[in-house]
Amino acid sequence: MKTKLNSNKKGFEVMRHLVICCTAVSLLTLFVPQREAAACSCLPFPPPAEAVAKADAVFLGKVLAFDEIAGQSRRLAHLEVIKIWKGRPNEADRVTTALNEAACGFDFVVGKTYLVYANKDENGGLYTHLCTRTQPENLAQSDLNYLRGFSEFPLALGNSWEFANSFGNNITETIFDTLRIKGNLYYRFDRFREFNQAFLRLSEDGKLFLRSDTLEQMWVDFNADDTTRWHVIGPERLAEWDVQLVSRTDTVVTKAGTFYPCLHFHFRFNGADYDWHEWYYSGIGTVRRDLYGIAPFSYPLERVTLNTPTSVEENPTGSTPRAFTLSQSYPNPFVLKASVSSRNTALIRYQLQEPAEVSLTIFNALGGAVRTLATGRKTAGEYSALWDGKDEAGRLAPSGVYFYRLQAGSFSELKKMVVIR
């Protein structure tokens, strides 16, 4: 009996020590800081062009305060906006982020200046995180080089520049489609200078490239100095120029406004007297072009339409469409107007379930092809194209019934639209 009691006593002592140890471990767990269960994990950063297209706001700002938000797992940064490339200035002075880096929160430092990429949150405010290209200004040189070029020549679907000329018939250059070639995103113009169906892209270091047929060349370098020169070849290789930045402080006055300071590029013709000058203004693009041949010709900017930059190459929902679809054009009827405006284009959306060779073409009532809006191989996703009511030769289409057809691999669909002039 005594042995049994001793055995029970020992068992009780063991249990008592176990309880004490477990209690101590529990208390230690409460008071000793623990590592986060999961750390922030990001995909590779997209290049600046894609990051700008996906962001709702891109700006340079100095952090004035950075505090926790009561009752929320977020912190709020108050910023002094220095320069803004995308978004509204009255919204960019406040940006939220997660509470800590483990939750992908960006750890702003008061007094430092940052290049911020932000998107709208569920409440309509701006939000950023570690998986964006948000970074200190001193580490953002490649982004800032791209953004300088982006400012000088804004590329977005639907952007349009109308220039007057000495002959009285205005010339309009419009972006109406995008195309991805070898990983680069190009914006397709109905015409650009003397090029028909030209494709332009902006590199990360602020260079504007033009692609026509199979030839790609740098058109202008927005980060060039006055000692840098490069070579440009004209349509069908009939003319060539040596290009140089002349000035960064020119003033240009047109019907569209007074622009200062402007970048002034000189295209020197290799041969006869056929020089070309172009002026660019930040946020607008080209504001004037002059040709000096047998007689001088000037092409001042008369009006411009600029839309919010978007990437039509990306599927905004983040998921692959379940089917090939072609939407009804908007607006329909499509009323063509004499002046250039954001409403003077017809929008056509389509979805690709899988990668395919794509052709989107406008036809007249007799079945004749009027204009090809999209062509080439595209990845799965949602796309948009704009038609400005012009045919391949740049002439306005007459009133009537038109058809547009999407051909994507074995998929084909035809829809009708009405044009009124």
- CATH code (residue 369): 2.60.40.4070
What's the token pair of residue 345? Answer: 């284009």
For residue 58, being part of any structural domain is answered with: yes
Per the structure, the count of domains in the chain is 4
For residue 414, being part of any structural domain is answered with: yes
The band of 218, judged by pLDDT with boundaries at 50, 70 and 90, is very high
Whether 251 contacts 260, CB under 8 Å? yes
Classify residue 32 by its DSSP letter. S
What's the CA gap between 377 and 379, in Å, rounded? 7
For residue 259, being part of any structural domain is answered with: yes
pLDDT digits (tens, 9 = 90+) for 329-373: 877 788 776 543 334 678 788 888 888 999 999 999 888 999 998
Place of tokens 């047109």: 254
> Are 58 and 123 in a shared domain?
yes
What's the token pair of residue 213? Answer: 């047929």
> Are 267 and 167 in a shared domain?
yes
> Are 184 and 269 in a shared domain?
yes
- Helix (H), strand (E) at residue 25: helix 2-31
Q: Count CB atoms within 10 A of the CB of residue 320.
A: 14
> Are 159 and 240 in a shared domain?
yes
- CATH code (residue 133): 2.40.50.120
For residue 337, being part of any structural domain is answered with: yes
What's the CA gap between 219 and 152, in Å, rounded? 13
> Are 291 and 193 in a shared domain?
yes
Highest mean pLDDT among 52-56, 148-152, 188-192: 188-192
Q: How many CA atoms lie within 13 A of 133 on its CB side?
A: 26
Q: What is the mean pLDDT of residues 26-37?
A: 38
Specify burial of residue 142 (Cβ count, 10 A radius: 0-12, 13-18, 19+): middle
pLDDT digits (tens, 9 = 90+) for 220-250: 998 888 888 999 988 766 678 899 999 989 9
Q: Give the model's pLDDT for residue 238.
A: 67
Q: Give the model's pLDDT for residue 74.
A: 93
What's the CA gap between 200 and 53, in Å, rounded? 16
> Are 19 and 87 in a shared domain?
no
> Are 134 and 173 in a shared domain?
no
Place of tokens 């020169």: 229
What's the CA gap between 150 and 166, in Å, rounded? 30
Question: Which residue did the predictor score with more confidence, 30 or 211?
Answer: 211
- Helix (H), strand (E) at residue 53: helix 48-54
For residue 280, being part of any structural domain is answered with: yes
Q: Give the model's pLDDT for residue 283.
A: 75
Q: Which of 14-18, 78-82, 256-260, 367-371 comes out lowest in average pLDDT?
A: 14-18
Q: Does the pLDDT at position 77 exceed 80? A: yes
> Are 166 and 301 in a shared domain?
yes
Q: Which residue among 80, 112, 139 closes a domain?
A: 139
Q: Which of 16-30, 37-51, 178-192, 384-398 comes out lowest in average pLDDT?
A: 16-30
The CA distances from residue 219 to 96, 214, 246, 257, 281, in Å, are 39, 15, 15, 25, 16
Q: Give the model's pLDDT for residue 363.
A: 95
Question: Which residue did the predictor score with more confidence, 384 or 272?
Answer: 384
* Local structure of 106: helix, strand or coil: coil
Q: Give the model's pLDDT for residue 327.
A: 87
Q: Which residue among 104, 139, 174 closes a domain?
A: 139
Q: Count CB atoms within 10 A of the CB of residue 308.
A: 12
> Of the candidates 292, 299, 343, 352, which has an alpha carbon nearest to the alpha carbon of residue 321?
352
Segments in 75-158 forming alpha helices (H): 141-152
What's the token pair of residue 198? Answer: 């030209």
Domain that holds residue 5: 1-33
What's the CA gap between 318 and 342, in Å, rounded? 27
Spatial neighbors of 322 by CB under 8 A, at least 6 apart, are 353
For residues 324-354, one letter each, b for 16 or more C-beta atoms within 10 angstroms of the residue's C-beta and e for the rest, the string is: bbbeebeeeebebeeebeeebbbbbebbbbe
The band of 158, judged by pLDDT with boundaries at 50, 70 and 90, is confident
For residue 144, being part of any structural domain is answered with: no
Q: Which residue among 139, 161, 193 closes a domain?
A: 139
For residue 394, being part of any structural domain is answered with: yes
Q: Give the model's pLDDT for residue 115.
A: 96
pLDDT digits (tens, 9 = 90+) for 274-294: 788 999 987 789 999 998 877
The band of 307, judged by pLDDT with boundaries at 50, 70 and 90, is low
> Are 186 and 301 in a shared domain?
yes
Residue 158, amino acid: G
> Are 193 and 58 in a shared domain?
no
For residue 42, being part of any structural domain is answered with: no
> Are 179 and 286 in a shared domain?
yes
**Is 0.85 topped by the overall pTM?**
no
> Are 89 and 60 in a shared domain?
yes
